[in-house]
């Protein structure tokens, strides 16, 4: 039987003992096949497994267990790539503590595509969501694969931006790939699978657990040439991914934020500590050695056929929320006219209304 089958068996134990322990076991015994045919008591003794882990290994150390795992994967359309497989991402193989293998639903983009992680806090502002979207969308349009964690907030918006840009995206999960977490992302998960893939080192039916997410984060950065932090507070879990990216030798990009916002304390601190500040998606493309054709913003706006007062309102907006009162002060227009023009611009896809009757450029 091919060693990939035994690597699959070993991978299925990762939620039980963790990736480092599995890599240690492989170092001790040589191959996954050798582990499979070694007496459990010897594995337990030489790899210092707990009594509980030893019992689970013993229960699952048989071909019937592997066959049942393969049946679950077939039913859910799950592929498996061990790190010995030619389809396993080359960048991921190079990191400290690489996964023994990855489970995948969808189509894993090839190694010759540029991949960039766009990450940030679950609890984020409209600015953080906007930053994730306005960076991910044009990067995807330029052929860059967007990698993120499908969490609430910035991660979800990064995937949505990539999909809006007609590109590919990879969601790395802290649970089995057949489990949708968070549950409200069911439709997003379906779109990601149709335009990329969801992957995990955890086997089918594994429920999410707090300990799995820091381990998941090393895969997000490990797949990517660079990591972009759209928004993060001072104690955001996102900064764990940044530390892992630095350990892996990846470039870290950070979006500057409002100095009065606690949600931007982490991203601003990263810039002080040496992260590359990002003000435009082209900053990231240049770092990848991609030089896009320049787009004339005035030409784009003129194609929307804006009336003079529509353009006046549009020019008064930016990527920070602006209230109707402020727009009235800038333009000198009455409130009814401002609201009407904002609605027209929203229909044309140029502005977005956010909470509190405020508007930003889209």
Classify residue 281 as exposed, middle or buried by CB count within 10 Å of its CB (0-12, 13-18, 19+). buried
- pLDDT tens for 205-250 read 999 999 999 999 999 999 999 999 999 998 888 999 999 999 999 9
- pLDDT tens for 137-154 read 999 999 999 999 999 999
Cα(290)–Cα(282) distance, integer angstroms = 8
Share of the chain above pLDDT 90, in %: 80
Cα(275)–Cα(61) distance, integer angstroms = 46
Residue ranges of the alpha helices (H) in the chain?
3-11, 14-17, 19-29, 32-36, 40-47, 51-60, 63-76, 90-93, 126-141, 154-164, 186-194, 212-222, 238-247, 265-272, 281-288, 297-303, 308-315, 324-331, 335-347
At what angle are helices 126-141 and 154-164 packed, to 10 degrees? 30
pLDDT value of residue 7: 97
φ, ψ of residue 106 to 5 degrees: the values are 110, -155
Three-state DSSP state, 32: helix
**Residue scoring higher pLDDT (65 or 293):** 65
Task: Give the dihedral of Cα atoms 60, 61, 62, 67; nearest 10 deg.
Answer: 50
| CA distances (Å), origin 154, targets 230, 231, 329, 344, 351 | 7, 8, 32, 27, 19
Query: Whole-prediction pTM value?
Result: 0.83
Of the candidates 75, 72, 87, 66, the residue with the CA atom closest to the CA atom of residue 197:
87
- Do residues 148 and 196 make contact, with C-beta atoms less than 8 angstroms apart? no
Three-state DSSP state, 120: strand
For residue 152, what are its two tokens? 């609430």
Please state whether beta strands 115-120 and 226-231 pair in parallel, antiparallel, or not at all (unpaired).
parallel
φ, ψ of residue 180 to 5 degrees: the values are -95, 115
- Do residues 313 and 353 make contact, with C-beta atoms less than 8 angstroms apart? no
- pLDDT tens for 326-350 read 999 999 999 899 999 988 898 888 8
pLDDT value of residue 1: 47
Q: SS3 sequence, 296-325?
A: CHHHHHHHCCCCHHHHHHHHCCCCCCEEHH
């Amino acid at each position: 039987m091919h060693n990939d089958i035994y690597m699959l068996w070993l991978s299925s134990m990762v939620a039980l003992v963790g990736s480092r322990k599995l890599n240690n076991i492989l170092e001790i015994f040589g191959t996954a096949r050798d582990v499979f045919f070694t007496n459990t008591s010897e594995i337990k003794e030489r790899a210092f497994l707990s009594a509980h882990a030893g019992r689970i290994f013993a229960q699952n150390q048989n071909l019937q267990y592997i066959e049942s795992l393969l049946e679950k994967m077939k039913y859910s359309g799950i592929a498996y790539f061990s790190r010995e497989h030619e389809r396993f991402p080359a960048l991921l193989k190079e990191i400290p503590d690489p996964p023994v293998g990855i489970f995948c639903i969808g189509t894993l983009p090839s190694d010759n595509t540029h991949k960039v992680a766009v990450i940030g806090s679950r609890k984020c502002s409209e600015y953080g969501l906007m930053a994730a979207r306005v960076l991910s969308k044009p990067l995807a349009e330029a052929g860059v694969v967007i990698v993120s964690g499908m969490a609430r907030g910035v991660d979800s918006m990064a995937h949505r931006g990539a999909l809006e840009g007609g590109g590919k995206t990879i969601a790395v999960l802290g649970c089995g790939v057949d489990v949708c977490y968070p549950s409200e992302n069911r439709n997003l998960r379906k779109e990601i699978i149709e335009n990329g893939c969801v992957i995990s080192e955890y086997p089918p039916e594994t429920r999410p657990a707090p300990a799995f997410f820091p381990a998941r984060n090393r895969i997000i950065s490990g797949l990517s040439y660079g990591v972009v932090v759209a928004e993060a507070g001072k104690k955001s879990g996102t900064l764990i991914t940044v530390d892992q990216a630095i350990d892996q030798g990846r470039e870290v990009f950070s979006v500057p934020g409002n100095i009065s916002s606690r949600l931007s304390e982490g991203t601003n601190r990263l810039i002080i500590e040496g992260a590359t500040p990002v003000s435009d998606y082209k900053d990231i493309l240049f770092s990848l050695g991609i030089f896009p054709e320049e787009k004339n913003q005035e030409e784009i706006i003129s194609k929307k056929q804006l009336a003079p007062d529509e353009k006046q309102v549009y020019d008064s907006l930016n990527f920070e929320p602006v209230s109707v009162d402020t727009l009235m002060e800038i333009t000198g227009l009455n409130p009814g006219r401002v609201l009407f023009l904002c609605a027209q611009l929203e229909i044309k896809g140029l502005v977005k209304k956010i909470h509190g009757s405020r508007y930003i450029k889209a």
